[in-house]
Amino acid sequence: MTTQQGHFINGARVAGEGGRTHDIFNPTTGEVQSSVALATREEMARAVDAAQKAFPAWAAVNPQKRARVMFRFKELVEKDMEHLATLISSEHGKTLPDARGDVQRGLEVVEFACGIPHLQKGEYTEAAGPGIDVYSMRQPLGVVAGITPFNFPAMIPMWMFGVAIACGNTFINKPSEKDPSTPLRLAELMMEAGAPEGVLNVVNGDKEAVDAIIEDPRVKAISFVGSSDIAHYIYSNGAAHGKRVQAFGGAKNHMVILPDADMENVVNQLLGAAYGSAGERCMATPVAVPVGEETADTLISMLKPRVEGLRIGPSLSEDSDLGPLVTAAHRDRVANYIQMAVDEGQELVVDGRDFSLQGYENGFFMGGTLLDRAKPGHKSYDEEIFGPVLQVVRAGNFEDAVALPSQHQYGNGVAIFTRNGAAAREFAQRVNVGMVGVNVPIPVPVAYHTFGGWKRSGFGDTNQHGPEGVKFWTKVKTVTQRWPEDVSGSEFVIPTMG
Ligand code: NAD
């Protein structure tokens, strides 16, 4: 073991003091490559102190100057792209090109946040009553926090602090203990870009650090992304402590394939969406829903050789389709779900469990798995697997295809592939899911729109980034003003504009 990652508090890297640590693996080799300190409540309180101290001055910086910091940060991240991608790839296990995408999608939110002078403007009504004007302003909340998952160590922190800091808040990121190096590096780059000390802090840790955030009255809002049970825990406990909370959870995204779809295109798109990043994406497509037996049979026969031919390799290789899973424990969990699916009666068309990569026998690799004839009521279908596993659920008709994703406990993303515009339009209107793709397999909205799932994929009512992000990270103050020429008498009736 070479290094230990600590925290980034008040503008500098600091070592952890609590003594508890967590191993960071290299998923390609299976070796422990370093460790991360797990913060105590006292260390978290110190980060909140720093953020609290930095807040008044940062909130008072005019929005154009805050935007300039974001512009400089964007340039520094672009210059550091290869270093960041390598950090991500070597701790997470996603391929280098995919790791660059992780950084790029986060940067797109930073680009959006560069428009904060315009985005944070309030509204104004002249002459709302006799001599009365009304205006509103969007003010930052204060110290806010983001608790982030392992699977996008660059994009998701940037979704959160990109908008929150541009709005004038000061921020504490509690990243995943599995791959903490990228968020720490992003904090260094924010300092270099001109963010004052204490504006962005990164505190590593586990439940103890998270509970310290939830219980600290100085933290005004929490944005969470991770699995649904933890999302619900943070949503309900955060709200009980009087905080504004948005908490995004797990997913089981379906791709509906109508009989008229271009099957060559479907198979190409589905392969990347199901197996890219070893299926460890909340917007991956782990379920295909072909409509009609003929569509299903064609899909399976075209998919089988393509799944068997997936290029699985070391994460740092430029030409792997997918790398290893994040940990051995997660790989074993995915393998258990595959066995469960078989026991539930699903047909194992391709079994990825025995895959081993020559020279990397201890890496956390797994081949692509394809299962046919999954059904609602099968635990392996009802729950999220989060691995390189695609389940096919055969739908009899269009109504079944709308019902399957609509009735699933998760409602993050869904896609429909068809040449029929009217069917696609009806599907998009009726389906009970937060983000819909029409002939687009992974419908992650662009930065200036907004990201958020429904049902057990999202708790709270305000989404990530876009105008909804600005709304989440600010509070509205409304001023009603009158400059009377003469003031006479008192009014005891509620004032109206009538
Ligand atoms: P996770 O829930 O295990 O961890 C997320 C965060 O919560 C981490 O920072 C972790 O340290 C913390 N945490 C873990 N256990 C905790 C506990 N008991 N109490 C308090 N905090 C705790 O999720 P993960 O494995 O890092 O990420 C994968 C999950 O995230 C998947 O379910 C995936 O679908 C989901 N995800 C969702 C979205 C979305 O936008 N909906 C995006 C990415 C990932």
User: Domains, the chain, ranges and CATH?
Assistant: 3-249+457-479 (3.40.605.10), 254-438 (3.40.309.10)
Of 9, 245, 282, 334, which is the active-site residue? 282
> Which of 151, 178, 414 to mutate for ligand 1's pocket (most ligand atoms within 8 Å of CB)?
151
Q: Which residue has the tokens 């269009």?
A: 398
pTM over 0.75: yes
**In angstroms, rounded to a whole number, what is the distance separating the alpha carbons of residues 146 and 166?**
15
Buried b (16+ CB within 10 A) or exposed e, 181-209: bbbbbbbbbbbebbbbbbbbbbbbbeeeb
Q: Which atom of ligand 1 is nearest to the CA of 175?
A: 9
Residue 487 is predicted with a pLDDT of 67
Q: How far is the CA of 426 from the centre of ligand 1 (A)?
A: 33
Q: Which amino acid is at 70?
A: M
What pairing do the DSSP bridges indicate for beta strands 287-290 and 389-392? parallel
Q: How far apart are the first and last CA of the chain?
A: 74
Tokens at residue 81, please? Answer: 């792209």
Q: What residue's CA is closest to ligand 1, atom 16? A: 207
114 belongs to the catalytic site? no
Pocket probe for ligand 1: among 253, 282, 410, 454, the residue whose CB has the most ligand atoms within 8 Å is: 282
224 to each of 102, 191, 213, how far by Cα in Å? 18, 24, 12
Q: Which atom of ligand 1 is nearest to the CA of 177?
A: 11
Q: Strands 389-392 and 435-438: what pairing?
A: unpaired
Protein residue with least CA distance to atom 35, ligand 1:
226
- What per-residue confidence (pLDDT) applies to 2? 58
3-state helix, strand, coil in the chain (%, to 5): 40, 20, 40
Atom of ligand 1 nearest to the CA of 230: 2
Pick from 164, 240, 184, 212: nearest CA to 24:
184
Whether the Cβ atoms of residue 110 and residue 189 lie closer than 8 Å to each other? no
Mutate to test the pocket of ligand 1, among 156, 230, 386 (most ligand atoms within 8 A of CB): 230
Distance (Å) from CA 58 to ligand 1 centroid: 30
Sheet holding 21-26, edge to edge: 3-5, 31-37, 21-26
270 vs 276: CA distance, rounded Å: 10
Residues within a 6 A CB radius of ligand 1: 147-152, 174, 176-177, 206-207, 210, 225-227, 230, 248-251, 282, 384, 386, 412, 453, 457
Atom 42 of ligand 1: nearest residue by CA position: 282
In this structure, are strands 143-147 and 132-140 parallel, antiparallel, or unpaired? unpaired
Instruction: Write down the pLDDT at residue 494.
Output: 86
Alpha helices in 390-462 (DSSP H): 398-407, 421-430
Q: What residue type is 487 in one-letter code?
A: V
| Predicted local confidence at residue 89, as pLDDT | 97
What is the amino acid identity at position 436? V
* SS3 call for 376: coil
65-85 burial: b if 16+ Cβ within 10 Å, else e = ebbebbebbbebbeebeeebb
Distance 433 CA to ligand 1 centre (A): 20
Residue 489 is predicted with a pLDDT of: 79
Residues sharing a CB contact under 8 Å with residue 395, sequence separation 6 or more, in sequence order: 256, 289, 290, 291, 292, 401, 404
Strands 200-202 and 254-257, by their bridges, are: unpaired
pLDDT for the residue 98: 97
Residue 484: both structure tokens together: 């009377």
The alpha-carbon radius of gyration of the chain (Å, integer) is: 24
Instruction: Name beta bridge partners: 34.
Output: 3, 24
The DSSP bridge partners found for residue 413 are: 435
Torsion sign over Cα 461, 466, 467, 472: positive
How far does the centroid of ligand 1 lie from the alpha carbon of residue 371, in Å?
A: 26
Which residues make Cβ contacts (< 8 Å) with residue 181, sequence separation at least 6? 5, 24, 34, 87, 91, 153
**What is 186-243 written as a DSSP string?**
HHHHHHHTTPPTTSEEE---SHHHHHHHHH-TTEEEEEEES-HHHHHHHHHHHHHTT-
Q: What is the mean pLDDT of each run of 10 residues along the chain (498 residues)?
A: 87 96 97 97 98 98 98 98 98 97 98 98 95 96 98 98 98 98 98 98 98 98 98 98 98 98 98 98 97 98 98 94 98 98 98 96 98 98 98 98 98 98 98 98 96 98 96 98 80 80
Q: Are 98 and 142 in contact (CB under 8 A)?
A: no
